Amino acid sequence: MPYIQINQNLVEITDEEAAETAAEIATADAAMLEIANRETRNELLADSDWTQFNDSPLNNDTKVLWATYRSSLRSLTEHENWPNLEEADWPTKPS
């Protein structure tokens, strides 16, 4: 039988209770990862806002590259691996 710790005491639980606890932890981990990924995405969007301003020093071709990058960031939540993104799943910043 598995055990969990409650108030510094080990308590024996059933396999079913252990499975339920593991599922709850996995759900919470996925929610936290989703929040972290959204925060990262939002920071990347904010950091690239300047590229789309009318007075940006970028030429039109470069602005289009940045616009595409920003669009890819916005659609990350539709990615097949969301929220379990790997480094290769994130769009690459234009140079």
Model-level pTM?
A: 0.80
Instruction: Give the structural domain span for 28.
Output: 3-89
Give the per-residue pLDDT at 95.
87
38: in domain: yes
In terms of C-beta density within 10 A (0-12 exposed, 13-18 middle, 19 or more buried), how is residue 27 classed? exposed
**Is residue 27 assigned to a domain?**
yes
Residue 8 within a domain = yes
Return the residue matching tokens 């598995």: 2
| pLDDT above 90: residue 45 | yes
Cα distance between the two ends of the chain: 56
* Mean of pLDDT over the chain: 95
Tell me how many helices (H) and strands (E) the chain has. 2, 2
In a domain, 51, yes or no: yes
Position 10 in a domain: yes
